[in-house]
């Protein structure tokens, strides 16, 4: 579904200064010029470009090839981007390759089930140096129920409208993420759908510890407010021991 968004992704989802400030604040203090950051689910690479502009050594991982091609163009080829999914990440890089792994934008929810999530967390643990940080952000799935799914505002930019909605899958375990991108000048509509797994904080805490992340800080937004059941997001800064 994301191939339809590559050319307009950064107009629809521009990187917010608050997000960048949060990431910068929680990067390891020991991160030096020879440390490396991996952005998993980097889309068209805006966060990678911002961090690279600040002097960090950055790489991006994104399964959608259209997104990766756009990322390479926008970075003038100065940043390595890999058209690789989360499931293959551990095969792409040797152990201890990174000081920080980022996984923002509800990317983690695209993994199929707890087994896939656990495998991904173990891969993150292997790729990080000792003391490295894993920073990820999800929708706060703890507040969802059979009776409640969040509403998303319509995003209007230039001649485009982007609509999103959640719907429980037939098994009442997964969530159907349904999108429509409409070109208001032509009336053309491009629809897409993917399945999300609603990974909650309670589901993630134990697998994180098993992967080497016993030090976990949880936040409810990029302002840094503490996580609660009413928080819009679940953001974790986990440190590898």
CATH number at residue 100: 3.40.50.150
CATH number at residue 180: 2.20.25
Q: Are residues 87 and 191 in the same domain?
A: no
Q: Are residues 106 and 68 in the same domain?
A: yes
Give pLDDT, residue 107: 98
Quick one: tokens of 99? Answer: 């000081």
* Residues spanned by the domain of 155: 143-196
Q: Are residues 75 and 172 in the same domain?
A: no
Radius of gyration of the chain (CA): 17
Report the C-alpha gap between 51 and 216 in whole angstroms: 23
Q: Are 54 and 17 in contact (CB under 8 A)?
A: no
For 67-123, the DSSP string reads HHHHHHHHTTT-S-EE---GGGHHHHS-TT-EEEEEE-TTGGGGS-SHHHHHHHHHH
Q: Are residues 11 and 64 in the same domain?
A: yes
Which of 91, 25, 35 lies closest to 58 in space, CA to CA?
Answer: 35
Residues with Cβ within 8 Å of 168's Cβ and at least 6 positions away in sequence, in order, are 146, 149, 174, 175, 176
Count of residues making up the chain: 241
pTM for this prediction: 0.95
Q: Are residues 149 and 177 in the same domain?
A: yes
Q: How many separate domains does the chain show? A: 2
Q: Are residues 69 and 174 in the same domain?
A: no
Q: Are residues 114 and 150 in the same domain?
A: no
pLDDT tens sequence for the chain (241 residues): 677 788 899 999 999 999 999 999 998 766 655 679 999 999 999 999 999 999 899 999 999 999 999 999 999 999 999 999 999 999 999 999 999 999 999 999 999 999 999 999 999 999 999 999 999 999 999 999 988 999 999 999 988 999 999 999 999 999 999 999 999 999 999 999 999 999 999 999 999 999 999 999 999 999 999 999 999 999 999 999 8
Rounded to 10°, the helix 17-26/46-53 angle is 60
Which of 43, 46, 56, 140 lies closest to 100 in space, CA to CA?
Answer: 56
Rounded to 10°, the helix 46-53/65-74 angle is 30
């Amino acid at each position: 579904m994301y191939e339809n968004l590559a050319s307009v992704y950064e107009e629809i989802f521009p990187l917010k200064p608050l997000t960048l400030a949060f990431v910068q604040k929680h990067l390891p203090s020991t991160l030096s010029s020879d440390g490396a950051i991996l952005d998993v689910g980097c889309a068209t690479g805006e966060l990678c470009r911002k961090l690279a502009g600040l002097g960090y050594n950055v790489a991006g991982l994104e399964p959608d090839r259209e997104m990766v091609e756009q990322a390479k163009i926008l970075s003038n080829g100065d940043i390595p981007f890999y058209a690789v999914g989360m499931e293959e990440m551990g095969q792409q890089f040797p152990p201890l390759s990174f000081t920080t792994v980022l996984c923002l934008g509800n990317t983690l929810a695209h993994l199929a089930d707890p087994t896939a999530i656990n495998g991904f967390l173990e891969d993150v643990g292997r790729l990080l140096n000792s003391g490295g940080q894993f920073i990820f952000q999800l929708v706060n799935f703890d507040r969802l129920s059979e009776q409640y799914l969040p509403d998303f505002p319509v995003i209007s930019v230039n001649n485009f409208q982007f609509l999103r909605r959640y719907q429980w899958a037939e098994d009442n375990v997964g969530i159907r993420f349904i999108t429509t991108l409409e070109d208001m000048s032509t009336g053309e509509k491009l629809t897409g759908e993917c399945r999300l797994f609603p990974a909650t904080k309670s589901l993630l805490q134990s697998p994180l510890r098993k992967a080497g992340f016993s030090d976990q800080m949880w936040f409810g937004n990029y302002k840094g407010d503490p996580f609660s059941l009413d928080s819009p997001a679940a953001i974790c800064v986990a440190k590898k021991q």
